[in-house]
Structure 1
Amino acid sequence: MVRPRPVLLGAVLALLLAFGGGLVLIPAGGPGAEAADEGLPLPPDIPRLAEGPQYEECLGLLRSDPDGALSFAEGWEGAGGGEGARHCAALALLALGEPDRAAERLEALARNSQGSAAARAAVFAQAVQGWMLADQAGRAYAAATMGLTIAPEDTGLMLDRAVALGTLGRYRDALDDLARVTQAEPDRAEAWVFQAAALRHLDRLPEAVGAVDRALALAPDNAEALLERGILRQLRGDAKGARADWQRVIAVAPDSAAADLAQQNLALNEAGPKRR
């Protein structure tokens, strides 16, 4: 089953910090700083751990009123809400900017749940994102690995683990997971972007260029792919091409983390000659 991957801002920032390199700077505020303002890792077709109107009501509150969702979940758990209540409470903590507490609960829930393998894998994926938001890539790697023990063909978890491995500097191991993803889903543009970045960190620039070109062939306006190609162009001495890519990032995704990083890279690009 191909499970859609949500894109939390914090998760994207963690990924870019793992694979950024080049001119990319670490954004201020930390990887979880804006978690509460972004969508939760809860696409509508992710398998649920429970059923019933209270579960759906609680999940429905997450985006509009996470404080209310937490209060609802805690009251419901006290009345015997079980796994559904604990799941909603953990996601509410994530929405409220407490990713470490959320990830701890999500991981425990995924380990001990009586739900289906698909549902448990989905919760492990949510735990991975929580740990990444909490800047704990080692815990994210462990959670992804546990998820893959029950859903070994889950390419989303493979991708999550690759991001965690990249954050830990384990680029060769990340490439192993990314190779499995691109083999299973060759049209998955973000996997090619991450592969390009990992290859760049290993100084395999021609291969990195090939991977990012593949990503952009699949998704010409993918902001992360454009950001990465700009970095590669800068490293290869093509300052004009790098500027064009970073300007395109800002044009196609002006409110994204990639655009923030592209803007910083443009500023550094402009400042470079003056420093010399």
Structure 2
Amino acid sequence: MRNYILISVLCLVLAGVIAGAYAQPSSPPTIQPLPLPDLENPAATYDGCLTLGREKPDRGLEFSGMWLGLGGGEPARHCQAVALIGLKEYGEAATRLEALVEESRESTVVRAGLLAQAGQAWLLADELERAYAVQTMALDLLPLIDDRRIEVLIDRAETLAASRNYWEALDDLNDVIAADPDNTDALAFRASAYRYLEAPELAMEDANRALKADPENVGALLERGNLHQINSEKMAARQDWLMAIQLAPESRAADIARANIEKLDVKVEVLQ
């Protein structure tokens, strides 16, 4: 995995439980005061700040601002960007990450990681040209033989696919699979690209290859289900989609699988 990862925000839902018919309403939760940054232990402060940023981004933003005011420097600024991503302020987060790279004194590998994260934020902001540009800059900073290139290439392939540049996405995915033949996420992604390029046989080959290596790869299950549906193999499609939902019910892939099953059921009803 890359040094700096775009981390999805965990949605925490607080629900009151009624113990009985005469139970008293519970008191509102007490908000704990933020801890003070430990200036004597910046590594621990950084870890704690990132945890806040991804789990409670509003508090993470407050903590990182406090730390920055006390001289937290680059780590505090990075933590601010992580919190902004958690708050879905993707464009602002990406802008700050790019500015941090320009001013950073860290190694090229660390700066490449920051650029990769900025690229993901631009992608989430639907700023595809900017995402592609910074992802390419990240790749230019990384050595040609470096495992970290794999993650950035997959990210850039996602940006290219979102721009409907499927051939270019395929080039990046081919590079990933050449370096890491058992990368099941890249295989599932390449299967999707092949499907969009109307090469269903190659798509099915990649989907099956991914599932042979990892039978619980949700992306590959979703994609193979799509391919079965194209081939009018409705039962097989439903089976793969249901498995994807069972394995990762809260995932984006599961949402797509549910929608696909609903469409399949509507078509069956019409035929009946």
Summarize the Cα distance change of 1:4–1:178 in structure 2 as closer, same or farther, 3 Å threshold.
farther
**Do residues 37 (structure 1) and 14 (structure 2) align?**
no
Cα contact 2:7–2:54 (8 A) shared by 1: no
In the TM superposition, what are the counterparts of 1:124-273 in structure 2 within 5 Å?
124-153=115-144, 154-273=149-268
Quote the offset at 1:93 in angstroms.
0.7
Match of 1:71 in 2: 62
Match of 1:60 in 2: 51
Question: What SS does the corresponding residue of 2:92 show, helix, strand or coil?
Answer: helix
The runs of 5 or more residues in structure 1 that have no matched partner are: 10-34, 39-49
Letter of the structure 2 residue corresponding to residue 88 of structure 1: C
In the TM superposition, what are the counterparts of 1:84-95 in structure 2 within 5 Å?
84-95=75-86
Aligned equivalents of 1:239, 1:88: Cα separation in 2: 47
Match of 1:41 in 2: none
Aligned equivalents of 2:191, 2:10: Cα separation in 1: 30
Cα contact 1:137–1:164 (8 A) shared by 2: yes
**Greater displacement, 51-60 / 265-274:** 51-60
Question: What SS does the corresponding residue of 1:63 show, helix, strand or coil?
Answer: helix
Question: What SS does the corresponding residue of 2:126 show, helix, strand or coil?
Answer: coil
**Greater displacement, 158-167 / 232-241:** 232-241
Question: What SS does the corresponding residue of 1:194 show, helix, strand or coil?
Answer: helix
Aligned equivalents of 2:270, 2:123: Cα separation in 1: 35
Letter of the structure 2 residue corresponding to residue 201 of structure 1: Y
Match of 2:19 in 1: none
Quote the offset at 1:5 in angstroms.
8.9
Match of 2:29 in 1: none
Letter of the structure 2 residue corresponding to residue 37 of structure 1: C
Aligned equivalents of 2:47, 2:75: Cα separation in 1: 9
Letter of the structure 2 residue corresponding to residue 116 of structure 1: S
Aligned equivalents of 1:7, 1:221: Cα separation in 2: 23
Summarize the Cα distance change of 1:52–1:3 in structure 2 as closer, same or farther, 3 Å threshold.
closer
Quote the offset at 1:100 in angstroms.
1.4
**Do residues 98 (structure 1) and 100 (structure 2) align?**
no
The runs of 5 or more residues in structure 2 that have no matched partner are: 13-40
Letter of the structure 2 residue corresponding to residue 77 of structure 1: L
Count of matched residue pairs: 239
Quote the offset at 1:129 in angstroms.
1.7
Percent same amino acid among aligned pairs? 41
Cα contact 1:106–1:123 (8 A) shared by 2: yes
Cα contact 1:36–1:94 (8 A) shared by 2: no
- Provide the TM-score with structure 2 as the length reference: 0.81
- Provide the TM-score with structure 1 as the length reference: 0.80
Quote the offset at 1:110 in angstroms.
2.6
Letter of the structure 2 residue corresponding to residue 129 of structure 1: Q
Aligned equivalents of 1:250, 1:222: Cα separation in 2: 11
- Hey, which bits of structure 1, 4+ residues long, moved more than 6 A? none
Quote the offset at 1:144 in angstroms.
0.7
Cα contact 1:4–1:156 (8 A) shared by 2: no
Aligned equivalents of 2:247, 2:48: Cα separation in 1: 35
Aligned equivalents of 2:251, 2:204: Cα separation in 1: 23
Give the structure with higher Rg (CA).
2
Question: What SS does the corresponding residue of 2:198 show, helix, strand or coil?
Answer: coil
Summarize the Cα distance change of 1:181–1:4 in structure 2 as closer, same or farther, 3 Å threshold.
farther
**Greater displacement, 150-159 / 194-203:** 150-159
Aligned equivalents of 1:258, 1:204: Cα separation in 2: 22
